[in-house]
Amino acid sequence: MQIDAKDIAGGKYNGQKVFICDYRVPDLNKKPIRSVPPTEVMVRDNEETKRRIYYSSSHFVTLKKNGEPSSKVIPLYDNTGFRMYTGEPVKVFDNLAECMAQWNDDLNTVQQKWLEKRKTVLDDIDKQIDKLDEMRNV
């Protein structure tokens, strides 16, 4: 089940292990805003880190191989926020299967955008080639 970001931000899940994932590319000409493959993490209170985490009282830390929390911090919200807008939260799940399904859906969405862009670009190239052929036959 997907977990509401407000519950994470409010500290309801502090100390619990959850799964996060997110892949968003609003502009194909730029790198992704966020690329977080399905990862098991622990929700921690912001008081436990020296980093400043905006718009949330909790953050995520990745887990070591032995299951203990590491020092790698992953904020709940991306860096698109400003003033009263928090930005987009990472997608949080209570099980790996749903997280993997969401990850694959996110990748498929971006892949479809690339396929549409490729078709458009190839159509434009074909039109230019045809135009040059027409000019040659005049």
pLDDT value of position 128: 94
Give the range with max mean pLDDT: 9-13, 76-80, 123-127.
123-127
pLDDT at 3: 93
Mean pLDDT of the chain: 88
State the Cα angle at 82 between 52 and 113, rounded to 5°. 105
Decide: 39 and 19 in contact? Cβ < 8 Å.
yes
On the CB side of 38, how many CA atoms lie within 13 Å of its CA?
15
Can you tell me the mean pLDDT for 119-123? 94
